Every structure is written in structure tokens, then in C-alpha cells.
């Protein structure tokens, strides 16, 4: 979605969690507004059990940064918020500071349609600590949701095996803005069309749709309803044949199809929205073929997802296209990507040396990766991605060290990457708070997604038990992370001696 199309521009600065503002006030009060930071956004766990995710939402990050301004209305609202202990939550001086707030951050991100994998940076934000912090919530909202939808869509489209998939989940989506975001992300990831007319106008996405059961029920008979619709929409006539009985519905559709032929038109297709879709589609196909109407397409819907589509085709169902709504728009089996935004490096001022930082946890997989992170994708001779390497731009690899990477979650797994071609994944999106290139078209993102999925080894694209794609740290970064972890654990042991005994 375009932020300024759904939310009024004055709302964007307040599209945040309250604690981002309380932390910002703390940084301002402690004289740390010039301290610089590097934050990275990434996800930890594989969505839907998939080996990959489809990056989406990148195109909206420049708009987010450029429109993050606090208006007089925003300041008035913030000044009205009371602290739980009494008095105003925000002091007058900090609110005055926000009046002139204009982020000057640099943003690098993986382009839309590219594939991303667990633990690697999807977005990197560099700027003042305060500015980076205030961008967190909206950035995660935009990138996390659209990436989740695009990933689900890629799976559904893969299951359809080249047959068109129409997205029509608007009525089940999480609000108007969610519905628009779903339409956009699903088109990037391969849907052929959307039912969402607003998204069609805004992004140039093809729109599709014909009639509902209520149309049929509005007439004395199904045949009359079909005839009326064929007369009204002869160039867009797909008849919904399961309002009463599919077998009766197909006979009425055959009558209308022959009447349309006599008038020089053609019935485009029929849709089945209930029942045993495999069995019914086979019956409908046989009846049309028997009547010489082999050109009439069969569309099916009814709470479809990648698994039901795969099952239908596995049973030989003669389906020409699919309509997918609820389970795509709501990402039914995983409602959130779990995208996080973590501080990975800081420095006291521009030009100073970066200090890498790491977050520890009782759960080792939640330990973060330090440094001014960037990521390279390594490609084999056939053009297939084989692994991704996270490295620290501020501490490049030593020239005397053999190129290798250490798996993020398994230090015993080391891969030799010598001789492989590589390309950088993070690309500049914002410099100094302004977009640094024209906004990419949705068609470019869609083409990139198709190419990325085509180049990925099928072992990573299986729905069940896909092979894990290797994401690793450059050897020097892996050592740096280990040293920081040991330092932090040693510091904790000095305060909590029982930790030392356990270690």
C-alpha cells in the first residue's frame, strides 16, 4: 500500500508504538541525539515451513522516511498523554524538538521480489539512534506483513503449476489497508489478478470478478439469471454454477453457452465454489467437452491454499484457474512473519569507529549478529543460489584468509565459497533521508520474483521438509560474534556467580 493513500500524511509519524517515543525522549534528555546506530531487520523462523521468504514492501520505505514529520496536531496529541505516575508523559522541550524532526537516515534493503532467508538482513537503517528507533514499528509493519503475504502467494502460485491464480481476499483481510497491501504483495509474488478495484487502480494490477450467488438467487430461475448475466457481460461471462446444484448448473450453463455462440459471443468459464471440487470439475469438464464446448474454462474457489490446490491437481482435476481468498489474505496458517529490528552497531558520532554490539538470550537462537551488516549471495555455475554470507562492512575479510562462511545457527558447519560468483543483496533506497532512486514499478518486482524462484533449486521449494538454505557469517564476523558473546557472558558471570558455575 502507499502510506499516504491510506493514512493521512499527518498520521505517519504516529504510526508507532509508544515506547519508541519514550525511548526517543530518553535519548534526547541524555544528550545522545547525535549518537549513531545501525539497525537491521530480519526474520528468525521459516514462514509456513518454507525454506525462503519473498521480500516485499521495500518500495514503500523511502515514502515512510520522507513523510515522517510531526505536525502541530501530532504534538498537541502527544502533549495530552499522561504518565501513569502523574503529569505529562512528554516534556515540552522534547516536543519542541519533534516539531523540527526530519530523519536523515540511510536505508539499504533487499529489492522486492528477491528471496530472503532466516537471520540475514532484509533492511539496514543507519543514522542517529533516535531516528532509527522512531522508524522501527512502521518499518516492521510494512515489510513484515507484505513479505509474509508474498511468501504465502509464491507457495500458492507454485502449487497451481502455471495456472492463473486470482486473489480475492479483500472482504476477509485485516482492514482496508491490509486488503490493499495483500493485493499488492500477492501480485508481486505471482497472482494473475485481484478482485480489489482500489488496488487495481493504484498499482495497475489486473482486476477480475463476475457475479456471486446472490445474482442467481435474485432471479426466478438459475437459467434466467445466467441468461441475464450473459446479456449484461458478454465479454466477461463466468457463471457461478453451485448456487443450487452443480449438475443442474452446468446444464444451464451449456444452454447459455450455445445461445452466446449463436450471438457471436463465447462463455468464458464457470466457477465452482463448494463441494468435492475434484469430482465436480471432472464432471463439468466432461459435459462441456461432450457438447463441443471445450473452450469453456473451469475456475474453482472455496478456502483454497497451496495444499488443497496441490491435492486437486494430484487427483487430475481439470481446473484451469483458481480463486484464492481467505487463506491467502489472512496468511491463515501463520499470521505473522516474526520480523525483528535489532541494534547491531553504534558509534558516538559520524566518522567515529563503529562498535559492534550483540544481544544475548537464554535462547541461543535469539542471539543477534553484530556489525554494520551486509549480505552477499553466492551463485553456482548454473546460476542457482547456493548460500548467503553476512559480513561486516566496517571490518572486511582479511585478504590472507581463505573465503568461507560459518552457519549462523551451527558453528560446526563451515562452507568453502572460493571460486563462486557473488552479488550484493542490500541496495540503497534512502540517503540522507531522501529517496536515492526512482520508485521501482510493480512489474519489475514481479519479474524479479519470478526469476528468483525459477533459479532456486527445487529442493528448497518443497512444501514438506524443504532443504535448509545455508546462511552464514563471514569467518571474521563469526569470530567477532563469539568474542562479544564471551565478553557479555563473562560480565554477567561477575554479577551473577551462579552463571559461571553453569557455564
In which band, very low, low, confident or very high, does the pLDDT at 6 lie, cut at 50, 70 and 90? very low
Measured from the Cβ of residue 448, the count of other Cβ atoms closer than 10 Å reads: 19
**What does the pLDDT average to over 38-54?**
97
Residue 399: is its pLDDT beyond 80? no
pLDDT of residue 500: 56
Length of the chain measured in residues: 503
Residue 171: is its pLDDT beyond 90? yes
Residue 4: is its pLDDT beyond 50? no
Q: How far apart are CA 36 and CA 34, in angstroms?
A: 6
Q: What is the CA 376 to chain-centroid distance, rounded?
A: 20
pLDDT of residue 358: 94
pLDDT of residue 467: 96
Q: How far apart are CA 183 and CA 237, in angstroms?
A: 23
pLDDT of residue 501: 45
In which band, very low, low, confident or very high, does the pLDDT at 43 lie, cut at 50, 70 and 90? very high
**What does the pLDDT average to over 256-285?**
98
Residue 118: is its pLDDT beyond 60? yes
Half-sphere exposure (CA, 13 Å, Cβ side) for 466?
21
pLDDT of residue 488: 83
**What does the pLDDT average to over 235-242?**
98
Start-to-end Cα distance in the chain: 49
DSSP states of 342-404: EEEEEESSTTSPPEE-----SSGGG----SSEEEEEEE-TTS-EEEEEEEETTSPPPTTS--E
pLDDT of residue 408: 93
Q: pLDDT: is 424 or 502 the higher one? A: 424
β-bridge mates for residue 416, sequence order: 404
pLDDT of residue 495: 61
Residue 89: is its pLDDT beyond 60? yes
Residue 3: is its pLDDT beyond 80? no
Q: How far apart are CA 140 and CA 151, in angstroms?
A: 16
Contact status, residue 240 vs residue 252, Cβ threshold 8 Å: no
Residue 423: is its pLDDT beyond 60? yes
Phi-psi label, residue 126: left if phi above 0, alpha if psi -120 to 50, beta otherwise? beta
Residues 6+ apart with CB under 8 A from 130: 24, 27, 28, 32, 33
**What does the pLDDT average to over 164-171?**
97
Q: Residue 379: which H helix or E strand, with range?
A: strand 373-379
Q: Which range is least confidently modeled, 109-118, 171-180, 243-252, 275-284?
A: 171-180
Residue 1: is its pLDDT beyond 90? no
Block residue for cell numbers 561486516:
392
pLDDT of residue 7: 44
Helix (H), strand (E) counts: the chain: 17, 21
436-489 confidence digits (pLDDT tens): 989 999 999 999 999 999 999 999 999 999 999 999 999 999 999 999 988 888
Q: How far apart are CA 381 and CA 425, in angstroms?
A: 19
Contact status, residue 424 vs residue 375, Cβ threshold 8 Å: yes
Question: What whole-number percentage of the chain has pLDDT above 70?
Answer: 95
Cell of residue 446, nine digits: 514481479
Residue 152: is its pLDDT beyond 90? yes
Q: Which domains does the chain have, with CATH numbers?
A: 209-300 (3.20.20.70)
pLDDT of residue 496: 59
286-343 confidence digits (pLDDT tens): 999 999 999 999 999 999 999 999 999 999 999 999 999 999 999 999 999 999 999 9
Q: Which range is least confidently modeled, 18-27, 54-63, 86-95, 478-487?
A: 478-487
Residues 6+ apart with CB under 8 A from 266: 257, 260, 295, 296
pLDDT of residue 136: 98
331-385 confidence digits (pLDDT tens): 999 999 999 999 999 999 888 999 999 998 777 778 899 999 999 999 999 999 9
Contact status, residue 78 vs residue 95, Cβ threshold 8 Å: yes
pLDDT of residue 303: 94
Residue 252: is its pLDDT beyond 70? yes
Amino acid at each position: 500500500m502507499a502510506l499516504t493513500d491510506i493514512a493521512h500524511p499527518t498520521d505517519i509519524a504516529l504510526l508507532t508504538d509508544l515506547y519508541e517515543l519514550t525511548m526517543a525522549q530518553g535519548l534526547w534528555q541524555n544528550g545522545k541525539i547525535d549518537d549513531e546506530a545501525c539497525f537491521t531487520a530480519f526474520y528468525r523462523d521459516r514462514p509456513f515451513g518454507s525454506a525462503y521468504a519473498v521480500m516485499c514492501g521495500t518500495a514503500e520505505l523511502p515514502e515512510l522516511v520522507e513523510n515522517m514529520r510531526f505536525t502541530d496536531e501530532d504534538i498537541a496529541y502527544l502533549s495530552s498523554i499522561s504518565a501513569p505516575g502523574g503529569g505529562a508523559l512528554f516534556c515540552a522541550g522534547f516536543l519542541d524538538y519533534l516539531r523540527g524532526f526530519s530523519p536523515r537516515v540511510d536505508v539499504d534493503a533487499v529489492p522486492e521480489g528477491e528471496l530472503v532467508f532466516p537471520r540475514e538482513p532484509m533492511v539496514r537503517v543507519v543514522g542517529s539512534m533516535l531516528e532509527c528507533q522512531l522508524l522501527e514499528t512502521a518499518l516492521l509493519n510494512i515489510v513484515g506483513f507484505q513479505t509474509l503475504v508474498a511468501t504465502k502467494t509464491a507457495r500458492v502460485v507454485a502449487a497451481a503449476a502455471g495456472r492463473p491464480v486470482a486473489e480475492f481476499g479483500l472482504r476477509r483481510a485485516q482492514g482496508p489497508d491490509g486488503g490493499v497491501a495483500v493485493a499488492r504483495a500477492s501480485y508481486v509474488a505471482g497472482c494473475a489478478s485481484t478482485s480489489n478495484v482500489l488496488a487495481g487502480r493504484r498499482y495497475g494490477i489486473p482486476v477480475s470478478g463476475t457475479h456471486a450467488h446472490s445474482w442467481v438467487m435474485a432471479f426466478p430461475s438459475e437459467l434466467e439469471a445466467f441468461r441475464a448475466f450473459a446479456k449484461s457481460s458478454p465479454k466477461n461471462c463466468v457463471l457461478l454454477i453451485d448456487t443450487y446444484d452443480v449438475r443442474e448448473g452446468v446444464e444451464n450453463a451449456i444452454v447459455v453457452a450455445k445461445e452466446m455462440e449463436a450471438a457471436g459471443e463465447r462463455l468464458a468459464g464457470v466457477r465452482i465454489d463448494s463441494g468435492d471440487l475434484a469430482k465436480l470439475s471432472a464432471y463439468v469438464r466432461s459435459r462441456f467437452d461432450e457438447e463441443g464446448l471445450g473452450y469453456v474454462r473451469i475456475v474453482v474457489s472455496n478456502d483454497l491454499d497451496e495444499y488443497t490446490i496441490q491435492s486437486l491437481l494430484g487427483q487430475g482435476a481439470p481446473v484451469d484457474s483458481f480463486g484464492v481468498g481467505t487463506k491467502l489474505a489472512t496468511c491463515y496458517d501463520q499470521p505473522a512473519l516474526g520480523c525483528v529490528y535489532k541494534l547491531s552497531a553504534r558509534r558516538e558520532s559520524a566518522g567515529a569507529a563503529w562498535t559492534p554490539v550483540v544481544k544475548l538470550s537464554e535462547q541461543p537462537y535469539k542471539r543477534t549478529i553484530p556489525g554494520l551488516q551486509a549480505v552477499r549471495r553466492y551463485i553456482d555455475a548454473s546460476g542457482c543460489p547456493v548460500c548467503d554470507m553476512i559480513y561486516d562492512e566496517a571490518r572486511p575479510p582479511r585478504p590472507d584468509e581463505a573465503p568461507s562462511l560459518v552457519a549462523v545457527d551451527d558453528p560446526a558447519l563451515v562452507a568453502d565459497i572460493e571460486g563462486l560468483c557473488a552479488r550484493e543483496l542490500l541496495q540503497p533506497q534512502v540517503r540522507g533521508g531522501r529517496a536515492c532512486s526512482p520508485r521501482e514499478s510493480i512489474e519489475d518486482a514481479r519479474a524479479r520474483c519470478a526469476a528468483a524462484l525459477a533459479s532456486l533449486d527445487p529442493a528448497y521449494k518443497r512444501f514438506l521438509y524443504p532443504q535448509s538454505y545455508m546462511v552464514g557469517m563471514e569467518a571474521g564476523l563469526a569470530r567477532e560474534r563469539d568474542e562479544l558473546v564471551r565478553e557479555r557472558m563473562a560480565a554477567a558471570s561477575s554479577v551473577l556467580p551462579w552463571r559461571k558455575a553453569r557455564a
